[in-house]
Chain A
């Protein structure tokens, strides 16, 4: 860095938090942070220096070929393939590290799982930047792998069993993204079973052995029943679970062995040798046995996350790290004093870095929709214990402090605020926000606990264990409450709802009839008719997206099983059923509603300018939209400027927003998951507003094809919230955050100058009190000045470490596309009163 002469204080006064962090962190953390290879794509491509790892696909393919003639049931073959990868993949230990484990063979490699979908495999073939050298030679390897898995991958196997019409529409990419696969999405975890320190892999293996023996004995008693028939499948499933757990233990011990080899043969530094032996001891202990120390606990957690990604492609990282690691922190730092706060901070910071490095090759929609990051690692902090008491602990503070030191964009935190949170913790949160991390986002715990009980019927003790399953959605971490896989294709590009009202459901971008064939828009003679068509399109789109997920959940146990995830889930260990089996899940589904607010603003514009004021006819408007407003600029500006916009405490448009939400909420209770539970909507966006910019046509809010969509959730359109932050909060507070949907994202930009000093804290705290009093469930802040962001656009090399809040996640500003950068700058900076 070119600022060595400046002190930390001077740098902080200049709000150059990233340089201050560099000076404040330990040498170890500084090395590890700079050693990290960021994995997020920029726009649709991976940045220079990252390559697709071919080791894993080759290992998987060779094992699959070897097992072709094996008499094993599929689930056991699959478990053996996972074990083969863990037993044979290249492992490494980075200098100065204390935690180990990575999916790929080298730190700059992105792992590719060819067993998921031929569509994904062909993206690899077509990738213009990430095929490793020598390209020609590696293309042949890729081709062999792709050729083998064609027709055998999960999606290839599942699709013929799905509604083919729905599948075509989903895979067009117009109305949603993701795939209906149990091995592709966001895996929830039964942390109450596997992370409480009560048991670890060896304990589960003992339990599995007992259940297999009992079942085997039962199966050979005199008699023949359906129950006995079912036992054969269960024994296979238990056996597969056991294979994955044993492989996990062996894999950890490979790290232990490597650490000892380095310590005994290569390392000359005495201190490092001790650290390496500590790594060895840790990896010999976990995940086989329960952790005893903070290092073991973090390492155990990391292994679980990596093994889960060995089994599935994961777009999220549901976690509650302060809750589950907190007891170890408390014991070592505050009671036994075997670990200093600084040592704990080093471990915590490294844990964040290890998570930030994780990477899997993902399709284009994911790379564009989650620009700058690998997935939404939104870790949940704070909240309450099962008895309702404050759950914050020393680890909560350590994580918040470590985040400011290592400044990774992913994971980010979401904080479960409740009235009992201490001021000391609030100040730590505020420091993260003031220092521009964009996180933690703030979640209203009492509201969201009530919401979980309302929508999914989770009992209060279970609802209180919730963690974010992806960016925003709460899911309990309990036996029946957790959702094993949130399939991402229940993600609706909701701007298409209003677009399809004008095209009778035909999509002009992908040239396909996708929506309902509602009457021609120019024929509508009343707003009510128009709104009815909107409701029909909403129901049609949501149904197209939800049906494949429901179907895939039902097919998953037999066709795309998850033996490892099942092995760390009490309900599967107990029942012998795959974790995705709907019969053992309460259900916690939701539809992510991207690009939602465009609907309210568009409906309001049509109501006012067409039906109330009769300034234009529906034919005028339909024609203007079909022409992408070309030749109609005056009319377009009328729709932008003279129609009310959401976020200004204007009942005209706010009541329309409520109408839309109420219709969606009503339909959410008609849509049912295979467990019989509801499908509430959850408005938020990630960077889908940019990804979809060229996929959504012109809209009545004045938007043209290609313009960025709003930044999401219930956030007003950038620059359209003209009446200040309180008006935004008031508009948002008209929504019932318990019963109108599962959660509602709100982005706010604040001025870093205004947040300076104690006064800044008090202003923010006062804002948060209003937010809580009004009953909103979420808010997150960008707190980086326009000046800094524009400087970063001009001179990205100097601003590599500036972080911004994109939507449900943060990213380094230089790692997102120019259009996304501009969209963030355009957001209104709210002055706090």
Chain B
């Protein structure tokens, strides 16, 4: 089972590697931005369409 920490978009917290940010590039009809969502390092990424193995 792939987990968030195996993904290129996962950036662990310096003081707690079990948690981190999933950082993604988004292009919407008006603007382009980077977004970050708090995730657990061990979260199941099997169904994540954004998963990219490191």
Residues of A within 8 A of B (CB): 31, 34-37, 49, 87-88, 90-95, 105-108, 254, 257-258, 261-262, 265-266
Contacts and interface: CB of A to CB of B under 8 A. Distances in A.
B32 A254 contact: no
Q: Closest 8 CB pairs between A and B?
A: A35-B31, A92-B35, A94-B33, A258-B36, A92-B33, A90-B37, A95-B32, A88-B38
Given A95-B31, A107-B30, A261-B11, A266 B25 contact: yes
A552 B6 CA distance: 51
Given A257-B21, A261-B21, A262-B23, A49 B34 contact: no
B26 interface: yes
B32 A94 contact: yes
Most-contacted residue by chain B among A88, A93, A94, A265 (CB, 10 A): A94
A257 B13 CA distance: 9
Contact of B34 (A34, A37, A92, A107): A92
B36 to A, nearest CB: 5
Contact of B36 (A36, A37, A92, A95): A92
A261 B28 contact: no
B36 A91 contact: yes
Contact of A106 (B26, B36, B38): B26
A105 to B, nearest CB: 8
Contacts of A36: 30-31
Given A36-B31, A258-B36, A265-B23, 17 more contacts: A35-B31, A49-B29, A87-B38, A90-B37, A91-B35, A92-B35, A106-B26, A107-B30, A107-B33, A108-B28, A254-B36, A254-B38, A257-B11, A257-B21, A258-B23, A262-B23, A266-B34
B31 A107 contact: yes
29 contacts: A31-B31, A35-B31, A37-B30, A87-B38, A88-B38, A90-B37, A92-B26, A92-B34, A92-B35, A92-B36, A94-B32, A95-B31, A95-B32, A95-B33, A105-B37, A106-B26, A106-B28, A107-B28, A107-B30, A254-B21, A254-B36, A257-B36, A258-B36, A261-B11, A261-B23, A261-B34, A261-B36, A266-B25, A266-B34
Nearest to A38: B30
A35 B33 CA distance: 10
A34 B29 CA distance: 10
B17 to A, nearest CB: 14
Interface of B: 11, 21, 23, 25-26, 28-38
Nearest to A93: B34
B30 A35 contact: yes
A469 B43 CA distance: 45
A106 B30 CA distance: 12
B interface majority secondary structure: strand
Nearest to A49: B29
A566 B28 CA distance: 37
B34 A90 contact: no
A732 B30 CA distance: 45
A696 to B, nearest CB: 39
Nearest to B23: A261
A37 B33 CA distance: 13
A107 B27 CA distance: 11
Nearest to A255: B36
A107 B21 CA distance: 19
B21 A258 contact: yes
A33 to B, nearest CB: 10
Nearest to A94: B33
Contacts of A257: 11, 21, 36
A701 to B, nearest CB: 45
Contacts of A88: 38
A35 B23 CA distance: 20
A48 to B, nearest CB: 10
A98 to B, nearest CB: 14
A393 to B, nearest CB: 32
A267 to B, nearest CB: 9
Nearest to B38: A88
Given A258-B21, A258-B23, A34 B30 contact: yes
Contacts of B32: 94-95
Contacts of A258: 21, 23, 34, 36
A265 B22 CA distance: 13
A398 B54 CA distance: 47
B44 to A, nearest CB: 18
B45 to A, nearest CB: 17
Contacts of A108: 28, 30
A265 B25 CA distance: 12
Contacts of B38: 87-88, 254
B26 to A, nearest CB: 7
A59 to B, nearest CB: 10
Nearest to B39: A88
Nearest to A259: B34
Contacts of B28: 106-108
Contacts of A262: 23, 34
A37 B28 CA distance: 10
B35 A90 contact: yes
Contacts of A35: 30-31
A121 B38 CA distance: 26
A16 to B, nearest CB: 23
A750 to B, nearest CB: 34
B14 to A, nearest CB: 9
Nearest to B29: A49
A107 B11 CA distance: 22
Contacts of B35: 90-92, 105-106
A31 B31 CA distance: 8
Nearest to B30: A35
A95 B30 CA distance: 11
Most-contacted residue by chain B among A34, A35, A87 (CB, 10 A): A35
A823 to B, nearest CB: 30
Contacts of B25: 266
A34 B30 CA distance: 7
Nearest to B36: A258
Contacts of A107: 28, 30-31, 33
A93 B33 contact: yes
A334 to B, nearest CB: 33
A320 B23 CA distance: 36
Contacts of B34: 92-93, 258, 261-262, 266
A742 to B, nearest CB: 40
Contacts of A90: 35-37
A475 B33 CA distance: 38
Contacts of B21: 254, 257-258, 261
Nearest to B25: A266
Contacts of B33: 92-95, 107
A453 to B, nearest CB: 47
Nearest to B27: A95
A37 B29 CA distance: 10
A108 B33 CA distance: 12
Contacts of A265: 11, 23
